[in-house]
Amino acid sequence: MQDTDIKYVILSGGIGGAKLVEGFYHSMDPEQLMVIANTGDDIIQYGLRICPDLDIIIYTLANIVQKGQGWGIQNDSFNCLSHLSTMYSQPSWFNLGDKDLATHIFRTDQLSQGIPLSQVTQLMCDRFNIKSTIVPMAEDYIPTKVETEMGMLHFEEYFVKYQFLPKLKKIIYGGTSNAYIPESIDKELKKCSKIIIAPSNPLLSIAPITEIPYYSNILKKYRNKVIGVSPIIQGKAVKGPTIENFKSLGLDASCIGVARYYQKLMKTFVFDESEIDFTENLEGKGADSDSLSLLNRSLKEMDIIGYAFDTVMSSLEKKKALAKFIIDIDI
C-alpha cells in the first residue's frame, strides 16, 4: 500500500477493464491510482489459487501480458501443463503457461502461510515495480457460480471450458451476504476524487464486486463521483458474452441497458460516440434531430449525465485518451 493519496479508484474485470487501467496508469501519477479487481473469476486448479482478473491487470501494467490475447504471460511455454495432463491422464481445459504457473505457486504458497490476498497482490506488484495499488475485491475465496441449461457451473467452467455456450439462467455471486473487504479500500473509496466502473462485463466482472453489500452501499452513497464506461458499443460487445448474458437474463443489451443496470450506483456515464447516430437511427428519428438525443433523454430520466467519447481502446494512445477524458470530466 502506497502512502500517496489515491485520486482515482477503478473497479475492473479482466481484459476490457485492464485496457482502461493501462490508460489511466500512463496518464497520471500512477501512485494515485487504485484498482479494485474482480475475484469472482477465481478458481483453484491443481491445488493452486488462480486469480485471472488480478493477473491480467498485473501482467498488463508490468508490460508482460501476451499482447493480442490480453491474458497470460507473453511467449510463455506450456511444458508443465502438458506433463500435468499426462499425470492426470486427461487434458486440461484451463490454459496455464509455465511462467504463469509460477505466479499461482507463489500466491498459493503465500496464502498458505496466512498472508491475506491483498498483501500477496501487493508483493507481486512490488516485484514488477507497479506503482499503483491493485487490490482484490475481497480477501476470501468467493467465486461466482452460474446456473445454466447444463446445470450449475463454476464461472470458469462456463467461460473457458464451455466457451460461454450454455444459456445462463441465473448468476450466483459469492459475496452477497458477507465478504472480507481489504482494509486499505474503505478510506480510499471515501476520499478519492472519482470512482470509475471500467468497461467490463457488468454481470460477470462488475456485479461480483457491486453485489457485495459493502460496495453497493458505498457506491450509492458516493454516487456523484462514480463514472461508468459502457462495454457495449452499438449493441455489440467488443469481446466476450456481455450481450448474450444481458439477453439471457432479460435485460436490455444496449448501452442504455448498461446505464440502467448501473443507475443507482453512478451519476455519470461515458458511452461510445458512435451511439448517438446509432440510437437515433434505431428510433428512425435521424441524427440531426434538434431535440436532445434519445440517449441523453433516457439518461436524464435515470438522473445520469452522459458523455460521448471514442471508447474503442485499440491502442495505448486511445486508452490514454479515454483515461484523460474521464480525468477531465467535471463532476
Residues that bind ligand GDP (CB under 6 A): 13-17, 19, 53, 199-201, 205, 230-231, 233, 237-240, 242, 311-313
Q: CB nearer to ligand GDP: give 55 or 280.
A: 55
Q: CB nearer to ligand GDP: give 110 or 313.
A: 313
Phi and psi torsions of 271, nearest 5°:
-120, 165
Q: In the bound complex, what is the minimum distance in angstroms from residue 285's beta carbon to ligand GDP?
A: 24
The secondary structure of 285-296 as a DSSP string is S-TT-SSPPHHH
Helix (H) or strand (E) holding 168: strand 168-172
- Cα separation, 211 vs 242, in Å, equals 17
Among 55, 215, 32, CA closest to 125: 55
Q: CB nearer to ligand GDP: give 122 or 230.
A: 230
Q: In the bound complex, what is the minimum distance in angstroms from residue 79's beta carbon to ligand GDP?
A: 25
Q: In the bound complex, what is the minimum distance in angstroms from residue 201's beta carbon to ligand GDP?
A: 4
Q: In the bound complex, what is the minimum distance in angstroms from residue 289's beta carbon to ligand GDP?
A: 24
Residues sharing a CB contact under 8 Å with residue 220, sequence separation 6 or more, in sequence order: 264, 265
Say if CB 197 and CB 228 are below 8 A apart.
yes
- Cα separation, 267 vs 265, in Å, equals 7
Q: In the bound complex, what is the minimum distance in angstroms from residue 245's beta carbon to ligand GDP?
A: 9
Q: In the bound complex, what is the minimum distance in angstroms from residue 13's beta carbon to ligand GDP?
A: 3
Q: CB nearer to ligand GDP: give 111 or 312.
A: 312
Determine the residue with CB nearest ligand GDP: 16
Q: CB nearer to ligand GDP: give 201 or 268.
A: 201
Among 305, 318, 320, CA closest to 269: 305
Q: CB nearer to ligand GDP: give 121 or 311.
A: 311
**Rounded-to-10 torsion of CA 251, 253, 255, 261:** 20
